[in-house]
Structures are given as C-alpha cells and as structure tokens.
Amino acid sequence: MKKKVLSGIQPSGKLHIGNYFGMIKRMVEYQESSDLFLFIANLHSLTTLQDKDRMKTMTLEAATDLLALGIDPCKCHFWVQSDVPEVAELTWILSCITPMGLMERAHSFKDKIAKGIKPNLGLFCYPALMTADILINQSEVIPVGKDQKQHVEMARDIAIKFNNQFGDVFTIPEPDILEDVAVVPGTDGQKMSKSYGNTIPIFDEPSVIKKAVMGIVTDSKGVDAPKAPEKCHVFALYKLFATAEERTSMAGEYRKGKIGYGDAKKALLERIQNTFEPFQKKRAELTARPKEVERILEEGAEKVRKITLKTLEQVRTATGLRY
C-alpha cells in the first residue's frame, strides 16, 4: 500500500524557483510514489489575508500554478480547503481536547506576533486547524519544512490524546522533515524569498525573468580569471537544472577561467527557459479556461469528502455527538 502523504499550501502570490525546487517538485514526485493529498490552505490564509478579491484570485492562481507545474488531479487528491467543511467541524472538536498550554508553546504564533502581526483567535488556533487537516484524511506522512515541524508534533499529540480518550479513530501522523532540501539562493545570495525581493519568478514575462537572472550578484572577476564555482550564486542556481556531467564541466570552466559570469548567466537563463517553458504554456492554457480549473477543484473536493465525511462520522460517534 502506498503511504498517504498530505500537505497544504497557502496561496501566496507569484511562485519563484525557490518554491519550485523547495516544495512543488517534491509534491510532483510524491504523487508518483505515494497517495498524495494536496490542498490550497485558504482557511489558513484567512488568518492574515482579509480581502475578498485577493483571496479569490490568489486561491485560483495557486491552483492554476500547481496544475501547470505538474500536479495531476488524476494521480492525487487536489482541492481547496474551504470546499471541505468537515475540517472546520473537526477543528472545533479537537480544540475542545487541546490544552491551552500546547497552543501557547507554538513558535510560529510567537514569531508572527514578534513580526507585528495583530493576533486573532484564528491565528492562535492555526495548529488545531492544521491538525484537523492532517487527521481528517488519516494521513500518515507530512512533508514539511523545519518551521512547520512543531505543528505536526502537535497533531501527533492531539491524535494520541483523542484516541486515548475516545478510542482509536485517528492514524498517528509522522513528519517528514525536508532537511535535505537545499535552500535556493536568490539573486543577492540570501535565501530566495518574496519578502527579500530577490526572486526569479517562474510565471512572468520573459523580459522580467531575464532581468532577474542578469541581475544576480557576482564578484567583479574578469572573463579570464579563475573563479570558485562553490562561491558563485549563478553556479548554485545552474546546479539545480544541470546533470552531474554538466555541473562538472561548468565547474571546470569556472576554475580554469574559461567562462565569464555573463555567459554563465546566459547558460542559466537558457536552462530556466527550457525547464519552465512547457509549464508556462500549460498555465496559459489553464488561465484561458478558468472553468476547467474550477471543475478540477470541485471534483477534487468531492473525492476527498468521501474520506473526510467517513472520519467525521467516526468522530461524532466516538464522542457521543451522534446521539
């Protein structure tokens, strides 16, 4: 039996190549090796994104982007969180057995407050919602970055507590910490991130992508000077796209002073264009047919509700809410 792997992605605007290599590519791989459950976490976004039009657009765009990048609704469960209302009911039920102290220890809540985000009750209860996402699908493996590890541990604690109190209803999930995912550097060498304005976008005009690549910061060594590939952000990005042989060959050219940064950037740009061109085409096709995306999401929610309704029924029975 394939393992049930679940992840949620908050709609977060223009995707960049850090998102692709850090997460989306892995999801596309998971849909081959596992029983993948992937959803757009719009109820999570609502804790901070409170603008009707932006919420609608960003949700549809996130879905379109993921479909364009290879998420295949025939190979996985793919839906929008709020289309499966059972998760909200389970959140409430789980909140009632979750000790306040457990929530109060959540790092991400403390971090968000430290960043000046005004806390609301939803932001505080966010780990309970994430727990419900995980448990309602009886998920086994949760691939997450280190920042989300504590939330999966909370989900385990809450599942164990529920099972002890009401009988074995929930599968106990395991985090799969994505430690080996290399941090993709941005054009300035820091972690590529929207918040640092150093991204290379995936779905933008070719001129915008080119400008970002040509703007990658390098030292000022001339074309003929020997260069250290391991210190160069252009090379670090090129590595993501190249085969082992191509990496060795480019590294050799760097060391021997046979390539300048301008040409290295051109080679990188070509790789980026070749890799993402089919995805860009697919995205343009999907954007032209928004009804098709909506249909995929509707069917995705319908498919997953066969599982969520069943789990919720077990929970209602186990707790005595089904009288």
Q: Toward ligand TRP, which CB reaches closer, 41 or 67?
A: 41
Residue 135 corresponds to which amino acid?
Answer: L
Please report whether residue 94 would count as binding ligand TRP according to CB under 6 A: no
Q: How far is the CB of 42 from ligand TRP (least distance, A)?
A: 10
- CA atoms within 13 A of residue 255's CA, in its CB half-sphere: 7
Q: Helix, strand, coil: what percent of the chain each, to 5? A: 60, 10, 30
- Answer yes or no: 112 catalytic: yes
CA–CA dist 212, 199 (Å, integer): 7
Sheet holding 141-144, edge to edge: 77-80, 35-40, 4-9, 141-144, 174-177
Give the single-character DSSP code of 54.
Answer: H
Give the single-character DSSP code of 144.
Answer: E
Interface mask toward ligand TRP for 141-180; x: CB under 6 A: -x-x---x--------------------------------
Interface mask toward ligand ADP for 160-199; x: CB under 6 A: ---------------------x-xx------xxxxx----
Query: Of 14, 149, 191, 239, which is the active-site residue?
Result: 191
Q: Toward ligand TRP, which CB reaches closer, 130 or 251?
A: 130
Q: Toward ligand TRP, which CB reaches closer, 149 or 282?
A: 149
- How far out from the chain centre does Cα 233 lie? 23
Q: Toward ligand ADP, which CB reaches closer, 62 or 304?
A: 62
Please report whether residue 41 would count as binding ligand TRP according to CB under 6 A: yes
Please report whether residue 130 would count as binding ligand TRP according to CB under 6 A: yes
The CA-CA-CA angle for residues 305, 310, 312, to 5°, reads 95
Please report whether residue 76 would count as binding ligand TRP according to CB under 6 A: no
CA–CA dist 233, 240 (Å, integer): 11
Does residue 144 come out as left (phi exceeding 0), alpha (psi in the -120 to 50 range) or beta? beta
| Of positions 12, 95, 218, 280, contacts ligand ADP by CB under 6 A | 12
**Total of residues contacting ligand TRP (CB under 6 A):** 12
Please report whether residue 307 would count as binding ligand TRP according to CB under 6 A: no
CA–CA dist 213, 23 (Å, integer): 21
What does the binding site for ligand ADP look like in residue numbers (CB under 6 A)? 12, 18-19, 21-23, 145, 181, 183-184, 191-195
Catalytic residues: 112, 191, 194
What is the binding site for ligand TRP (CB under 6 A)?
6-8, 10, 41, 44, 130, 133-134, 142, 144, 148
